Structure 1
């Protein structure tokens, strides 16, 4: 990202170990990460925060990632969306309902996640120029 501000990522992942793993990897890659374990906890943060990326699991309790992405589009339309999922059928649904969102299927290597996040920010920077 060309901006001097550290990019902010809102991570919504219901699996504790995966959330901690992803949060650590993204923080180590230089991002500011706020992590929650469900979509309903992410919504208030979207309302009060200025996030560059919503990184969300698709299958979560209370509010799935697709519904969260729809709320994100309403609340914070400039926030990019990226999904992570372990379910192929859910990945197809996400691609149909959120065509601008990147979908990364589990399992994935952390290096691949960081590269995809960097790509999202590079595309956003290019679109602004």
Structure 2
């Protein structure tokens, strides 16, 4: 009998309240979540951990989410990427530079986040041979 393992999500969000809400919603939905405050803090976790999904704010100090996603593609190419942002122009840039990434625009309901994450994992399962 195969044991189901909860998908692992790395969450990078610089705003503490938002990070807490997102992490709680994803944990309550059954995911294993590691939440950090910056792209710089996320990098070593990507290098040492095995994450199924990176959920990253785009606009963060030191290293933005797009740069983090580029590092993620090199370090852990099988990790999917979802961006969250409150800036429409930044959302367009993310779509151009990371076309396979999902972009979720703020404000959004936590239910919408969980549904999008579930959809990403469903699509990945369907794509497997």
Q: Same fold (TM over 0.5)?
A: yes
Shorter-chain TM-score tier = over 0.9
Residue of structure 2 equivalent to 1:19: 19
Residue of structure 1 equivalent to 2:70: 70
Q: CA deviation at 1:128?
A: 1.1
Q: How many correspondences in the alignment?
A: 127
* 1:45 match: secondary structure: helix
Residue of structure 2 equivalent to 1:60: 60
Matched, 1:37 2:37: yes
* Root-mean-square deviation over aligned CA pairs: 0.8
Aligned 1:1-129 pairs, distance under 5 A: 4-129=4-129
Unpaired stretches in structure 1, ≥5 consecutive residues: none
Could you list the per-position Cα deviations for residues 56-75 of structure 1 after superposition, in whole angstroms to 9, with x for gaps in the alignment? 00000110000000000000
Unpaired stretches in structure 2, ≥5 consecutive residues: none
TM-score (norm 1): 0.97
Q: Which runs of 4+ in 1 moved over 4 A?
A: none
Q: CA deviation at 1:13?
A: 0.1
